[in-house]
């Protein structure tokens, strides 16, 4: 009697395992068929100016070389023609970088961009890349 119960239990367990395996095989390929879009592929080769390159939803670019002459502290630096080894030169350069970075962060928030890379420093397949240059110029207070 004990051996019969053991065999019935063993057959029942084997049947349940077979059903679960069959359901797993049927569900596996069906899961792959539901995917309609491939995941985006983003390659970042340039300098990241805002955000985290490992975790982002929307990416943008900015042309620093075009914008830096419109930064107020940088214009003051050019106008004053101070020596490169003076404290005033380093202060104005620090201030220009700070002003640029703050304007860039405001532009990125306004356009809901959480990763900003220098122009030419990102290749993206499957997502749109937003150009923040014009909006950053507005944030700097210069006419676009």
Q: Is 7 exposed, middle or buried (0-12, 13-18, 19+ CB in 10 A)?
A: exposed
41-140 is classed in which CATH architecture? 2-Layer Sandwich (3.30)
Q: Can you tell me the distance from the alpha carbon of 48 to that of 61, in angstroms, rounded to the nearest whole number? A: 9
C-beta separation of 102 from 21 below 8 A: no
**Which pLDDT value is given to residue 132?**
93
Q: What's the token pair of residue 20?
A: 């679960």
Q: What is the pLDDT of residues 16-72, one digit of tens each?
A: 666 656 656 555 555 555 555 555 678 888 899 999 888 888 999 999 999 999 999
**Which pLDDT value is given to residue 5?**
56
Q: What is the pLDDT of residues 64-99, one digit of tens each?
A: 999 999 999 999 999 998 888 999 999 999 999 999
**Residue-range domain boundaries for the chain:** 1-36, 41-140
Q: What's the token pair of residue 25?
A: 């095989």
pTM above 0.85, yes or no: no
């Amino acid at each position: 009697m004990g051996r019969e119960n053991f065999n019935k239990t063993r057959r029942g367990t084997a049947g349940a395992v077979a059903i679960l395996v069959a359901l797993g095989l049927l569900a596996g390929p069906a899961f792959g068929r539901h995917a309609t879009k491939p995941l985006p592929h983003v390659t970042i080769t340039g300098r990241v100016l805002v955000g985290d390159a490992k975790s982002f939803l929307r990416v943008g670019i900015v042309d620093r070389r075009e914008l830096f002459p419109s930064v107020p502290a940088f214009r003051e630096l050019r106008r004053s023609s101070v020596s490169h080894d003076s404290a005033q030169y380093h202060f104005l350069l620090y201030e220009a970088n700070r002003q640029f970075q703050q304007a860039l962060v405001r532009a990125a928030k306004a356009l809901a961009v959480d990763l900003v890379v220098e122009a030419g420093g990102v290749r993206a397949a499957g997502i749109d890349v937003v150009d923040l240059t014009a909006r950053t110029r507005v944030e700097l207070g210069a006419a676009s």
